[in-house]
Each structure stands twice: as structure tokens, then as C-alpha cells.
């Protein structure tokens, strides 16, 4: 019982964790639920339309994680500076984030404008008629062209939202996210199907709705932060004077780059690895692309639990490390990892038994629907494993062990996961579901490595002292 007590907190502990995690769950939950409805709406239009949108969203997913990686390096310092009560340090990290997202967004826009057709075509190598492949490519190009307009808004939101979360302020991003998804859902309905006198724009309508929602979220977040950044009771005093200068001290820039570069490369290579995995599965046909799209959309709704709890690890443990409370950081980390795994085991059970019902929401062919069902079931089976990996990753990252997380995450996916998928999808007759499951099974190696690193306490360090 004494050993078990290391992993079980008291009521105050769980209240503290949930105060941070629940707003993140709500924001991500609403966002992913509306993405689900968005996906279903497009799925009602046709399989080619849905596949084209799915492929582009996989490419934009790489950009999103590049942005996430770009702000995460500075975010390690943000959490620890806030734990010290150093508001100027927080502002400096926000300025660094501004420069980083500007560079990433500019390069991404240039890449998609110049090579968008080639990138989309890479997913159209499997079985399928020439007409279906040409239609999927056309819809994908339409969707991508409009989605590029929303990249700057997404980037700015990530600067503010990530900083607020690292400082334990999760309510405003949640409210902005709720407003954004409401706008997205409303305009999806109007523009995809042509309601209230608007033209029926199909996938273009879905892209326009998403871009509008991104700018609504940006305005609510930025205005909300700066309105409460001054005065004695300012909730966001750490933002006051943010744009007095956009210069970042050279010494801090070098420290963030040293710690943050592995995170940026990690998120970029990991996202590219996930895109490569999808490409490996796609050689088995367009129905696999459609089935994976349905599965991934459903999975994202359920994954909010371990994602929010992993973010909470980064926030709570990072602040304790910045305050020099190493013993307390280890204790809370053990309890949070255990809490995440237990919660996700319960969520996975619900997801597994509901898997047959979700694909029926889509107007796709029977083969794609059956594949989606089995993809969802396999993902549910491995969800507790993914919860442990996610919490372990953020534990190591909170202490600045970014080289280790780089090896732990992106190097692993390219050297193990992609190799398994590439070989099995191209050189064996295994069903694609079996290939998908074998890739998930390979992550057990990461679980063992993560357990050893967390137990040894290599992450227990203050990087802003």
C-alpha cells in the first residue's frame, strides 16, 4: 500500500490538476467535436471531397506541430520564469515566440504555394480509379489554397494561448476556442451546403469557415489579454509592455535555441513521420485514406483527456522546477502520470465499444467504413500506452531534457515506426489493420525507455536559476 500511495494524490491534488486540465479538455474537446461535425459534413458531400480535405489537413498538421515545437522551446522557460515571478522573463519568451512563428509561417506558405500539388499527389499512389484520384487532387488543391490564409491567425493564437497555459491561465484560451468553433460550425453549415441564400461551396466553404474561425479566435484572445494586462488586479500583468520592443536578449535567445531547437526539430520530424505513416498506409488504396480520416477525427475527440493531462504535467511540474521544489515536483509527477493512465483506460473502454457506431455517421462506401471501425478499435486498445508516453514526454521536457525528448519521439518514429509501416505495407500481404497495430505495438519500446528515464530523475533541474 505504501508503494501505491506514491501514485495516489489527495483531494486537493486532484482539484489542482483538474483546475488546469479541465479548461484545456473543454477547449480541445469542443474544437475536436466541431472538427468531427465538420468532417461529417464534408463526408456527406462525397468520398473524394473528404479524402482531399483529409490529405491537406495531414499536411497542415505538420505545420501546426512545427508551430507547437517553435513555441514549446521558449515555453519551458516561460513556465519556470512564471514560477519565479519574473514577468519580464515571460515577456522575453513571448517575443522569441513571435519571431519563431513568423519564420515558420513564411516558409510553410512558400512551400505549399510552390509544391502543394506534389505533396497532395504523394498520397494518391494507391488503388483507385483515375477519375477518383483526379477529383481528390482537385478538391485538395481548392482546400489548401484557402487554408493558407488562416496560417497567420493560427500562429498568433499559439503565441498567446501557449503562454497563458504555461502561466496556469487556461480560461481565456478555452473561451476563445469555444467562440471559434461556434463560428466554424455555423459557417460550415451555411457554406458547405449553401443555406440562407449562400452558394453551396463544398470543400471551399469548409475552408472559408475554418479561416473565419481562426481570426475570431485570434481577436478574442489578443484583445482579452491586453485588456487585462494593466492595473493592480491585472490578470495578465506579464503581458504589459510586450511590444515596447521586439528584441530578445542575445544570451536568452541562445539559451532558448539550445534548449528549444531539439523541440522544434522533434515536432517537425514527428509530424512528418506521422504524415509518412499515413502515406505508407495509403498505398493500400483510397479507402484506407478515407477510413484513417474518419478514425483520426474520432480519435482526436477521445485523445483530449491524455493531451490535457500531459499539458498539465508540463505546467505544474515546470513551475515547481522553476521554484526549486524538486522533491514536490517528483511526487506530483508520479501521481499525474498514474492519473493520466487510469483516466485514459476508462476512456479507451468507451471508445472501443462505440467504434462500430461512429463510421455510420459518414456517407462513405462499406469498405472505408469497415476500415474506420477497426482503426478506431486498435487506437482505443493502445490509448493507455499513449497516455503514459505523453505524460512521460512532458515530464522530460519540463526539465529541459530536449535532446532526450528528440531521440525519444521523432528519432524513434522514423527509425522504428516508419520502418515497420514501410516494410509491412509494401513487402507483405498483411491486412492494413494488422500493419497499423504492429506500428502501435512498437511503442512499447518507448514505454520502457520513458519509465527508466523518469524514474532516474534526469529531468529534475531548474534551467532559469
The per-residue pLDDT for range 37-48, each reduced to its tens digit, is 677 777 777 778
- In terms of residue numbers, what domain contains 135? 7-456
Cell of 154: 493560427
Alpha carbon distance 413, 393 (integer Å)? 14
162-213 pLDDT, tens digit each: 888 888 787 888 888 888 888 988 998 899 888 888 888 888 998 999 899 9
Q: Let me know: does 398 contact 76? Beta carbons within 8 Å.
A: yes
Asked if residue 463 belongs to a domain, the reply is: no
Q: Distances in Å between the alpha carbon of 417 and those of 203, 345, 441?
A: 32, 23, 9
Rg of the chain over CA atoms, in angstroms? 22
Instruction: Establish if 424 belongs to a structural domain.
Output: yes
pLDDT at 348: 92
Q: Is residue 314 part of a domain?
A: yes
Tallying the residues shown for the chain, one arrives at 465
Range among 72-86, 161-175, 372-386, 400-414 rated most confident: 372-386
Alpha carbon distance 344, 353 (integer Å) = 14
Query: Given its phi and psi angles, is residue 196 left (phi above 0), alpha (psi -120 to 50 degrees) or beta?
Result: left
Q: Rounded to two decimals, what is the model's pTM? A: 0.70
Mean pLDDT, rounded, for 359-378: 87
Residue 451 lies in a domain: yes
Query: How far does CA 91 lie from the centroid of its chain?
Result: 24
In-domain check, residue 464: no
- How far is Cα 401 from Cα 259, in angstroms, rounded to an integer? 8
pLDDT band of 314, cuts 50, 70, 90 = confident
In a domain, 172, yes or no: yes
Q: Which long-range contacts (CB under 8 A, 24 or more apart) does 422-431 make?
A: 422/276, 422/280, 425/280, 425/281, 425/283, 425/284, 426/280, 426/283
Cell for 45?
Answer: 458531400
State residue 381's pLDDT score: 94
Give the angle 194-195-198 at the CA atoms, nearest 5°: 60
Q: CA-based angle 286:289:291, to the nearest 5?
A: 110
CA atoms of 382 and 380, how far apart (whole Å): 5
- H/E stretch holding 309 reads helix 304-322
Nearest C-alpha neighbor of 38 from the set 360, 380, 362, 369: 362
Q: What's the pLDDT at 108?
A: 92
Please give the pLDDT value at position 124. Answer: 79
| pLDDT value, residue 4 | 62
pLDDT at 350 over 80: yes
pLDDT at 465: 59
Per-residue pLDDT, averaged over 285-296, amounts to: 83
The answer to the question of residue 54 being in a domain is: yes
Q: Which of 144, 112, 224 is nearest to 176 (CA)?
A: 224
Kindly state the percentage of the chain with pLDDT values over 70. 93
Greatest mean pLDDT among 119-133, 238-252, 336-350, 403-417 lies in 336-350
- Count how many domains the chain has: 1
Written as nine digits, the cell of 419 is: 520502418
**Is residue 429 within 8 Å of residue 287, measured between CB atoms?**
no
Let me know if residue 236 belongs to a domain: yes
- How many CA atoms does the CB half-sphere of 34 hold within 13 Å? 22
Neighbours of 363 (CB within 10 A): 14
Amino acid at each position: 500500500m505504501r508503494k501505491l500511495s506514491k501514485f495516489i494524490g489527495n483531494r486537493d491534488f486532484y482539484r489542482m490538476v483538474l483546475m488546469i486540465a479541465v479548461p484545456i479538455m473543454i477547449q480541445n474537446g469542443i474544437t475536436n467535436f466541431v472538427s468531427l461535425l465538420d468532417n461529417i459534413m464534408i463526408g456527406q458531400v462525397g468520398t473524394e471531397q473528404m479524402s482531399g480535405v483529409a490529405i491537406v489537413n495531414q499536411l497542415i498538421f505538420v505545420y501546426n506541430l512545427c508551430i507547437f515545437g517553435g513555441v514549446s522551446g521558449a515555453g519551458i522557460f516561460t513556465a519556470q520564469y512564471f514560477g519565479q515571478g519574473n514577468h519580464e522573463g515571460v515577456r522575453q519568451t513571448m517575443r522569441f515566440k513571435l519571431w519563431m512563428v513568423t519564420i515558420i509561417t513564411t516558409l510553410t506558405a512558400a512551400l505549399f504555394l510552390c509544391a502543394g500539388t506534389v505533396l497532395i499527389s504523394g498520397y494518391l499512389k494507391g488503388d483507385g480509379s483515375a477519375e477518383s484520384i483526379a477529383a481528390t487532387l482537385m478538391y485538395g488543391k481548392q482546400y489548401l489554397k484557402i487554408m493558407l490564409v488562416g496560417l497567420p491567425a493560427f500562429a498568433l493564437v499559439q503565441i498567446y494561448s501557449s503562454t497563458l497555459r504555461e502561466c496556469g491561465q487556461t480560461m481565456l484560451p478555452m473561451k476563445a476556442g469555444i467562440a471559434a468553433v461556434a463560428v466554424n460550425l455555423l459557417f460550415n453549415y451555411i457554406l458547405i451546403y449553401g443555406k440562407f441564400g449562400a452558394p453551396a461551396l463544398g470543400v471551399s466553404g469548409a475552408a472559408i469557415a475554418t479561416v473565419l474561425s481562426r481570426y475570431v479566435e485570434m481577436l478574442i484572445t489578443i484583445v482579452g489579454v491586453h485588456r487585462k494586462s494593466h492595473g493592480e488586479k491585472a490578470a495578465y500583468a506579464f503581458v504589459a509592455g510586450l511590444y515596447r520592443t521586439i528584441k530578445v536578449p542575445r544570451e536568452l535567445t541562445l539559451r532558448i535555441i539550445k534548449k528549444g531547437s531539439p523541440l522544434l526539430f522533434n515536432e517537425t520530424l514527428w509530424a512528418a513521420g506521422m504524415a509518412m505513416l499515413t502515406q505508407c498506409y495509403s498505398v493500400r488504396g483510397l479507402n484506407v485514406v478515407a477510413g484513417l480520416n474518419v478514425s483520426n477525427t474520432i480519435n482526436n475527440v477521445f485523445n483530449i483527456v491524455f493531451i490535457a493531462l500531459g499539458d498539465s504535467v508540463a505546467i505544474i511540474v515546470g513551475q515547481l522546477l522553476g521554484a526549486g521544489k524538486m522533491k514536490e515536483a517528483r511526487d506530483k509527477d508520479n501521481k499525474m502520470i498514474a492519473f493520466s493512465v487510469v483516466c485514459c483506460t476508462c476512456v479507451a473502454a468507451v471508445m472501443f465499444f462505440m467504434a462500430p457506431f461512429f463510421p455510420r455517421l459518414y456517407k462513405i462506401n462499406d469498405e472505408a467504413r469497415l476500415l474506420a471501425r477497426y482503426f478506431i478499435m486498435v487506437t482505443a486498445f493502445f490509448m493507455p500506452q499513449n497516455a503514459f508516453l505523453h505524460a512521460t514526454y512532458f515530464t522530460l521536457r519540463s526539465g529541459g531534457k530536449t535532446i532526450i525528448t528528440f531521440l525519444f519521439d521523432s528519432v524513434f518514429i522514423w527509425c522504428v515506426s516508419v520502418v515497420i509501416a514501410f516494410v509491412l505495407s509494401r513487402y507483405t500481404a498483411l491486412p492494413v489493420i494488422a500493419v497499423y497495430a504492429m506500428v502501435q505495438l512498437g511503442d512499447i519500446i518507448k514505454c520502457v525507455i520513458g519509465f527508466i528515464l523518469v524514474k532516474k530523475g534526469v529531468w529534475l533541474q531548474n534551467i532559469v536559476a
